[in-house]
Amino acid sequence: MGGMVRPKLPELIVGVLAAVLLVGSVVGLTRTRESAGPATPVEEAAPGEAVTAIEIVDFTFGPKEATVAVGDTLTWTNVDSAVHTVTGKENELLLSDDLAQDATYEVTFEEAGTFEYMCKFHPNMLGTITVEG
């Protein structure tokens, strides 16, 4: 029948590691994320508002929908620690490399149209750029 075990050295070492992990999990559960708060909000652009930059924060493109004029340049910046991409869904205009944290991707739009895009690693991350002539 089972019962209490008198710990030996290996159990003591693993037990200390378990205790450290337990404390770490409490810290992880209660802390505030670095990307949270007003410093890096993911905002939606107001209608008619000029957008020149899109941030990737918490697995979201912000703003998700942006309108620019032909000739405008948009810059995506990946704030997340995860690697993301800007990948056109049915267009080859938007095709970034893998963007590590703080990496940027820039595109100048030369033609009018609607360009939907996603992150190839996280297909539920979606965005749309409308380019007005």
Partner 1 sequence: MARSRMLRLVGAVLLLIGGAVHLKLNLDDYGTEDISRTFAINAGASALVALYLLLRNDILGPLAGIAVSVGTLIGFGLSRQGDGILDFREVGFNPSPDAAVTVAVEALAIVVLAVAALQAQRATSSPRS
Q: Least distance in Å: CB of 131 to partner 1?
A: 28
CB 78 within 8 A of CB 96: no
Which has the closest alpha carbon to 61: 74, 47, 48? 74
CB 130 within 8 A of CB 116: no
Q: Least distance in Å: CB of 19 to partner 1?
A: 7
Q: Least distance in Å: CB of 103 to partner 1?
A: 16
| Interface residues toward partner 1, by CB under 8 A | 1-5, 7, 10-11, 14-15, 17-19, 21-22, 24-26, 28-29, 33-36, 58-59, 80-83, 120-124
Nearer CB in complex with partner 1: 10/47:
10
